[in-house]
Structure 1
Amino acid sequence: MSLLAVFHDEPRLLQLLSFVMVLMGVVSFLMLRFIRVPYGRYASDVFGPPVPVRLAWFIQELPSLAVPVYYLIVHREVAAPAQILLLAFICHYVQRTLIFPFLIRGGKPTPLASFSLALIFCCYNGYLQSSYLCKYSGLPINWIYDMRFIIGIVLFICGMIVNIHSDHILRNLRQPGETGYKIPRGGLFEYVSGANFLGEIVEWFGFAIASWSIPGVAFAIFTLLVLLSRAQQHHKWYIEKFEDYPISRKILIPFIY
């Protein structure tokens, strides 16, 4: 089948996009062995002019909120399991688009390159997950009683709670008027340097289990590869920055790694 024909066969297109997403994750993981992801403490003018951090977060995450909302409105007949999964997806991006950016205190501007890549990815993934769940998942109504769905949704909720709580800890490290960096304390930060990343990884693996789909698995693998790289960078930075950084604290998995 030609590439043009694939674009006219949406199920095959979604499968192709899923495989490409995994490939993007692998490429990102390998690239981040040699460069630091250009955002936050690692931001640099080399990656383009700065975009105000709140504006960048709001705009880049917006497609992952707007696209599934549009699909839910258009495809009102979609079965309950797919609706619940898409609502879980929307719930995450309501927090990332409409809440998280406006809670940021200060924050370094985001380089244009990082902002652009994040925006493209959110358009890509918003379409991939929404189109698959609303049109091709074929999940039966009794899927909500399947242990895969139940375990997946529980993991998603637990991961989201960890992610939000960890962001809260990071946001409140500095008192008003303070500058500089501090060692995160509390929650899962007592065990790993990337507690916020761990929460998001658990979220999307829960989503993948609950949806039992190739697009869901692709997103989970992509998230793992990208956030593992960031957690490794953060852990190394903390060790270099703070002489008293807890030696028992792992990178991403408590007591293991």
Structure 2
Amino acid sequence: MECWDAAVSSLSLALMVLAVAYLLRQTRTPTRYGRYVPADIRCCSARLGWLVQEVPSFLLPLMLLLLTEPDTEQPGRTRRGTGRKLLVWTFMLHYFHRGRPVPLIIVLSAAIFCSINGFLQGHHLLHCAQFKDTWLTDARLAAGFLVFVLGLTINIHSDHILRSLRKPGETVYRIPHGGMFEFVSGANFFGEIIEWCGYAVAVWSLPAFAFFFFTVCSIGPRAYQHHRDYQQRFEDYPRSRKALIPFIL
């Protein structure tokens, strides 16, 4: 498959424009997800919602990975190889993680986004990006990968804490404690932002940055909304906690 440079650049810029629009929208109205879902909105189960909305981000890069044939190597540069595949698998690794019941409109919107972004990230890495032969020993790649793993660990651990707050069938809200929740109300969101920051550093490309920027704009406001909801819901909510960034915001 040939590299579509114009399409990659256009999709990346469109992603950033969409991120700003979504950020502005969320400053006015919280996304109808989780605790902000009205009782009369039809939702689907967590597993089905995850399957429909996030699996495209796993399957599309996987298909591109399997269908891509080795490229002709250029002196001093490489188009594929173990490191390139590592970055693609790093992107896909996040999407083994599941979610919670989600409104159908959110599922469909997320499925469209994940399909476009999955293609964008996979196509760019496998068919467009060119790195020097020495890039596998670059400190930036190692640092980005370690930051990604750190963020993924925080994200998974924070979601585990949230799931353990309720027994099966319960709908009550409780104050989460432990892990990064001791510092921020949106510990799971903080972890996901750290993930994609690490990915963007490792890849160091416009598409990777566009996805990181979209992540910040989409779930950053959600962390603030959760923080405000906790403060209104619980009189004894820890005053030292911030919304998203420890000790700062």
Normalised by the length of structure 2, the TM-score is 0.91
Sort the Cα spacing of 1:146 and 1:9 in 2 relative to 1 into closer, same or farther, 3 A.
closer
- Partner-residue secondary structure (3-state), 1:89: helix
Instruction: Give the equivalent residue in structure 2 for 1:184.
Output: 176
2:57 alignment partner in structure 1: 64
- The equivalent residue for 2:106 is 114
Asked if residue 21 in structure 1 is aligned to residue 21 in structure 2, the reply is no
5+ long unaligned stretches in structure 2: 71-79
Query: Hey, what does 1:82 align to over in structure 2?
Result: 84
What CA distance in whole angstroms lies between the structure 2 residues aligned with 1:190 and 1:126? 33
Q: In the alignment, is the contact (CA less than 8 A) between 1:81 and 1:139 conserved in 2?
A: no
Alignment-mate amino acid for residue 123 of structure 1: S
1:108-257 residue pairs with structure 2 within 5 A? 109-176=101-168, 178-257=170-249
Identity within the alignment, %: 42
Distance apart, 1:177 and its partner CA = 5.3
What is the aligned partner in structure 1 of residue 75 from structure 2?
none
Instruction: Report what 1:12 is aligned to.
Output: 6
Q: How many residues align?
A: 239
Residue segments in structure 1 that go unaligned for 5+ positions in a row:
1-7, 102-106
Deviation, 1:74, is 1.3
Deviations 1:117-140 (A, max 9, x none): 111110010000000000011123
Aligned residue type for 1:25: A
* 8 Å contact kept, 1:192–1:251: yes
Alpha carbons of structure 1 residues 32 and 129: separation in structure 2 relative to 1, 3 Å:
same
2:134 aligned counterpart, secondary structure: helix
Residue of structure 2 in register with 1:52 after alignment: 45
For the residues of structure 1 that align with 2:131 and 2:82, how far apart are their CA atoms? Answer: 9
Shift of 1:53: 2.9
In 1, are the aligned partners of 2:3 and 2:123 still within 8 Å (CA)? no
Tell whether 2:34 aligns with 1:40. Answer: yes
Please tell me the root mean square deviation across aligned C-alpha atoms, in Å: 1.7
Q: Residues 193 and 212 of structure 2 are in contact (CA less than 8 Å); yes or no, is this contact kept in structure 1?
A: yes
Runs (4+) of structure 1 moved beyond 4 Å? none
Q: Provide the rounded CA distance (Å) in 2 between the counterparts of 1:123 and 1:75.
A: 18
Q: Is the 8 A contact 2:3 2:124 kept in 1?
A: no
SS of residue matched to 1:255: coil
| Amino acid across the alignment from 1:79 | G
**C-alpha separation between the residues in 1 aligned to 2:160 and 2:16?**
30
Larger CA deviation: 213-222 vs 78-87: 78-87
**Which residue identity is paired with 2:90?**
A
More helix by share: 1
Identify the residue that residue 92 of structure 1 maps to in structure 2: 94
- d(CA) in 1 for partners of 2:169, 2:20: 40
Q: Tell me which residue corresponds to 2:77.
A: none
Structure 1 residue 176: Cα displacement? 4.3
Give, in angstroms, the shift of residue 44 of structure 1.
2.7
CA distance in 1, matches of 2:103, 2:171: 21
Q: Helix, strand or coil: the match of 1:244?
A: coil
* AA at the equivalent of 2:162: L
- Distance in 1, Cα, partners of 2:154 & 2:124: 27
